[in-house]
Amino acid sequence: MTSSASTTLRLLFPQWQGGNNPAYHFGSELLNWLAPTATGPVEHVPVARPDDVLLSSENGIVARSALLSQARNARRLIDKHRPDRLVVLGGDCLVDLAPFAYLNERYDGELAILWVDTHPDVITPSEAEHGHTMVLGNLLGEGDAQFTAEVSRPVKPGNVMFAGRRETSDDFPAIKAKENELIDRLGLRTAGPEALASTSAPVLDWLQSTGAKHLAIHFDLDALDPTLFRSLLFSNPDPAVPSVDTYPSGRMTMQQIVRLLADVSGVVDIVGLGITEHLPWDSLALHRMLAQLPLIGTPG
pLDDT at 40: 95
Give just the sign of the alpha carbon dihedral 211, 151, 82, 114.
negative
Q: What's the mean per-residue pLDDT of the chain?
A: 94
Judged by DSSP in three states, 62 sits in strand
Residue 299 domain-assigned (yes or no): no
- Separation of alpha carbons 4 and 83, rounded Å: 5
Work out the burial of residue 240: count CB atoms within 10 Å of its CB; fewer than 13 is exposed, 13-18 middle, 19 or more buried: exposed
Domain extent for 268: 8-290
Within-domain flag for 296: no
Residue 147 forms part of a structural domain: yes
- Whether 109 is covered by a domain: the verdict is yes
**Residue 297 domain flag:** no
Is residue 295 domain-resident? no
pLDDT higher than threshold 80 for residue 167: yes
Q: At what angle do helices 254-265 and 201-210 cross, to 10 degrees?
A: 30
- pLDDT tens for each residue of 189-245: 999 999 999 999 999 999 999 999 999 999 999 999 999 999 999 888 887 776 655
Residues pairing with 43 in the sheet: 11
Cα gap 285→202, rounded to integer Å? 40
- CATH number of residue 168's parent domain: 3.40.800.10
Question: First and final CA of the chain: distance in angstroms?
Answer: 46
* Chain segment 83-122, per-residue pLDDT in tens: 999 999 999 999 999 999 999 999 999 999 999 999 999 9
- Give 80-147 as a DSSP string: HH--SEEEEEESSGGGGHHHHHHHHHHTTT--EEEEESSS-----TTT---GGGSHHHHHTT-S-HHH
Residue 36 burial (CB count, 10 A): 5
Q: What is the pTM of this model?
A: 0.96
Instruction: Give the Å distances, CA to CA, from 123 to 136, 179, 271.
Output: 9, 6, 26
> Do residues 186 and 158 make contact, with C-beta atoms less than 8 angstroms apart?
no
Provide the angle, in degrees to the nearest 10, between the axes of the packed helices 23-34 and 281-290.
100
Is residue 223 included in any domain, yes or no? yes
pLDDT tens-digit series, residues 11-33: 999 999 999 999 999 999 999 99
- Classify residue 3: in a domain, yes or no: no
pLDDT at 2: 35
Angle between helices 64-81 and 97-106 (to 10 degrees): 40
C-alpha torsion 142→146→150→152, nearest 10: 60
Taking Cα atoms as reference points, which of 90, 62, 33 lies closest to residue 221?
A: 90
Q: How confident is the model at residue 1 (pLDDT cuts 50, 70, 90)?
A: very low
Residue type, 93: C
State the amino acid at position 88 in one-letter form.
V
- The whole-number average pLDDT for the span 58-62 is 97
For the chain, helix (H) and strand (E) counts, in that order, are 9, 10
**Angstrom distance (rounded) from CA 26 to CA 9:** 22
Give the pLDDT band of residue 246 (cuts 50, 70, 90). low
pLDDT for 113-141, tens place per residue?
Answer: 999 999 999 999 999 999 999 999 999 99
- Say if CB 271 and CB 111 are below 8 A apart: yes
**What whole-number distance in Å separates Cα of residue 281 and Cα of residue 290?**
14
Number of folded domains that form the chain: 1
Residue type, 252: M
